[in-house]
């Protein structure tokens, strides 16, 4: 099938975000998967069994909304999870799945990132739930995230990693950075004492002013 669509900008951005995640240690080896929705029925994504920090634009895979390749090689077996996000959230244009060490470590230890602790988290991405454990690369994973998709833009997958999504790839990446920074802050708090949650009144006030926390548009050449 020959698809005529100018996806050059999306390819460039996807490669950049994948490399940033690799360089920051959010993924290693062959871990992680990334995607961007190009149209109602087209998704550009990373290929199966590849180091995401060493990809070229020509390595990327174009699929339809059922996950069938339209051009390129084979997509990640985790693409089902991305497609579930797109089906339930038409406002979402990009999905990032990575394994940020601190956030994942806390989740493995049974420490939730959902508690209301940092104002910046509440105002920018809300709380961060943990989806129940599901076997990677199976239908269990996409099914496990469905209850959280409507009200959350970031979540942890139990023993598996982080799933974040946004209006574009940069928006999703910034949310991933925020999740990991919050996790690092929690670790420090536990080392010197215990995290103190904000009160319900403080959280309500933050919800009133959260509109000022908007993602700054990406600057591209």
- Choose the catalytic residue: 57, 78, 140, 177: 78
78 is annotated as an active-site residue? yes
Which among 62, 85, 87 has a CA at the least distance from the CA of 72? 62
Catalytic positions, please?
78
């Amino acid at each position: 099938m020959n698809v005529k669509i100018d996806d050059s900008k999306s390819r460039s951005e996807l490669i950049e975000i994948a490399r940033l995640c690799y360089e920051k240690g959010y993924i290693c080896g062959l871990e992680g998967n990334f995607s961007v929705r190009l149209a109602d029925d087209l998704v550009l994504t990373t290929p199966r069994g590849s180091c995401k920090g060493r990809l070229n634009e020509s390595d990327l895979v174009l699929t339809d909304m059922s996950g069938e390749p339209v051009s390129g090689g084979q997509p990640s077996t985790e693409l089902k999870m991305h497609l579930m996000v797109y089906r339930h959230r038409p406002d979402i244009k990009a999905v990032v799945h990575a394994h940020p060490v601190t956030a994942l470590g806390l989740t493995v230890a049974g420490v939730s990132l959902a508690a209301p602790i940092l104002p910046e988290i509440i105002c920018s991405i809300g709380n961060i739930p943990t989806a129940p454990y599901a076997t990677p690369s199976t239908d269990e994973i996409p099914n496990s995230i469905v209850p959280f998709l409507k009200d959350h833009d970031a979540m942890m997958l139990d023993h598996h990693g982080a799933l974040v999504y946004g209006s574009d790839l940069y928006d999703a990446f910034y949310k991933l950075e925020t999740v990991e920074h919050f996790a690092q802050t929690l670790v420090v708090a536990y080392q010197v004492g215990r995290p103190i949650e904000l009160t319900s009144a403080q959280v309500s006030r933050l919800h009133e002013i959260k509109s000022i926390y908007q993602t700054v548009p990406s600057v591209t050449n």
